[in-house]
Amino acid sequence: MQINHATVFRRLGEIEKRLGVMLFERSRSGYFPTPAGEELADTARQMEEFVLQAERRVVGRDLQPSGAVWVTTTDSMMAGLLAPLFGQFQQQYPSVTLDIAVSNQLFNLTKREADVAIRPSNAPPEHLIGRKLADIGMAVYGKKDQVGARAVDLHQTPWVGPGSRLFDEPMRQWMAEQGYDDCCTFRVDTLIGMLSSVKAGVGVAILPCYLADSEPELVQLTDTIPPLGYGLWFLMHPDLRGVSRIHSLMEFMTEAVRSQKKRLAGYKARRKSTKT
């Protein structure tokens, strides 16, 4: 709320005085809502939803590709794929302003924290609509000058693993099942961080092919790993279906991303001298 506690207490007291009813019970351990407070909070939540619905309906009346579009995506997608595509889109649609939120957290599109999400997922939220743009391949990569021409035993190699705040349970589970988790000496909570660590020679890691294949100092050590692959989705709230600027962005991204589907899927001959 960006206000201090004293202001909150004062405003709460003013509301209770105006209503003539206690909304919270005060105690040394904190404030607890009374039945009247719970009822008022429930009403406020309904009011918020009505306001958000009204906003989405008004935005949906847009007929021309102009105005602002709030887009959320991940750091790895932004760095490895989307940044130049966003630039190309704005050259084609100069009246559309893109406001990009780079975050590994999924923003709430229902509450208009963003208009559009371009994110990797194998299970996109059912209450959102959109389309799958491409398949993303994952493989193990290492630094060329470390692995050299010799055969690499991945069970005898230091690994860079996903940190606890990187929400990629399939990667963690696969590494544990293959026995690589015991080789993990370093963990990072973003894919960009994992990529930088491999480039620095810290160890090998599972990385998106589109991200690692563009790094000349890295080498792909395994084939793509099917259980770790995922889809790249363009998602939005159903109420924004008819917004021209969002539709234009979706169509542009669909064509641009699908033109790179082989690179994104990781169709590349791997190094053959690797022991898994």
Taking 70 as the threshold, does the pLDDT of residue 152 lie above it?
Answer: yes
Give span(s): CATH 3.40.190.10, the chain.
67-134+230-262, 138-228+266-275
Distance CA 276, CA 267 (A): 20
275/74: higher pLDDT: 74
What is the rounded distance in angstroms from the CA atom of residue 209 to the CA atom of residue 2?
42
pLDDT at 57 over 70: no
Identify whether the C-beta of residue 158 lies closer than 8 Å to the C-beta of residue 183: yes
Residue 60: predicted pLDDT: 54
pLDDT at 273: 45
Q: Looking at the domain covering 138-228+266-275, what would its CATH class be?
A: alpha beta
pLDDT at 188 over 90: yes
| Tokens describing residue 21 | 């009813």
Asked whether the predicted pLDDT for residue 210 surpasses 50, the reply is yes
As annotated, the residues of the chain forming the CATH 1.10.10.10 domain(s) are 5-59
Span 67-134+230-262 CATH architecture = 3-Layer(aba) Sandwich (3.40)
Buried (b) or exposed (e) across 102-113, using 16+ Cβ within 10 A? bbbebbebbebe
CB-CB contact of 235 with 116 (8 Å): yes
CATH code for residues 5-59: 1.10.10.10
Contact 227, 111 (CB under 8 A): no
User: Do the Cβ atoms of 67 and 96 come closer than 8 Å?
Assistant: yes
The predicted pLDDT at position 133 comes to: 96
Residues 6+ apart with CB under 8 A from 6: none
pLDDT tens digits for range 140-149: 999 998 876 5
